[in-house]
Amino acid sequence: MVEAMRYFELFAIPVDYNIDLATINKHYLELQRAVHPDRHANASSRDKLMAVQSTAEINDALQTLKHPVKRAEYMLSELGVDIRAEQQTLQDPMFLMQQMELREELEELESASDPDVAIANFESQIKQLKAQYSNELAEQLASNDEAQYQQAADNIRKLKFVYKLKDELERIEDSLFDD
């Protein structure tokens, strides 16, 4: 059952990188109510186990669809390009140089003369990169073109970098403003 599950079908939404989180959350609650193990308290052991498995699958589907990188990886794997367990590095020198510069900028945030402004500027850059790669990814995943899927794989790798930067920025903000 797990292999045959199609997350978009499960949540009754169109297969698209850009999704409506409110709709997914609404369907999630409906699905959980329908399969919740408590509803099967008087069922056979097999039915109880199936309810628990269904609950776990629905939770996995939700976590996958809610996160843009996981959603993109899932969509790409459904299109026959599975990069979820890969260790491949990105072969884009311009992007890698940009990442090194952003990392240096990130390290300097804490010692900036005005950390608030520096953080806001850095956050703005991250949002811009996230939007750029997400927009490209949406087009590539909808393209029905194998070469575009390979480009999508690179954009997913780039988005992973961007999300790491975002996480590190949040850690820095917490350390600066929680004192």
How far is Cα 179 from Cα 177, in angstroms, rounded to an integer?
Answer: 6
How far is Cα 117 from Cα 97, in angstroms, rounded to an integer?
Answer: 24
CB 166 within 8 A of CB 154: no
pLDDT for the residue 87: 66
Predicted confidence (pLDDT) at residue 78 exceeds the cutoff of 60: yes
How far is Cα 132 from Cα 135, in angstroms, rounded to an integer?
Answer: 5
pLDDT for the residue 60: 94
Comparison of pLDDT for 29 and 87, the residue scoring more = 29
How far is Cα 108 from Cα 102, in angstroms, rounded to an integer?
Answer: 10
What is the end-to-end Cα distance of the chain in Å, rounded?
Answer: 50
How does residue 43 score in pLDDT terms, banded at 50, 70 and 90? confident
Query: Domains in the chain and their CATH numbers?
Result: 7-66 (1.10.287.110), 93-177 (1.20.1280.20)
Predicted confidence (pLDDT) at residue 4 exceeds the cutoff of 50: no
Q: Mean pLDDT, to the nearest integer, of 63-76?
A: 94
How far is Cα 85 from Cα 138, in angstroms, rounded to an integer?
Answer: 21
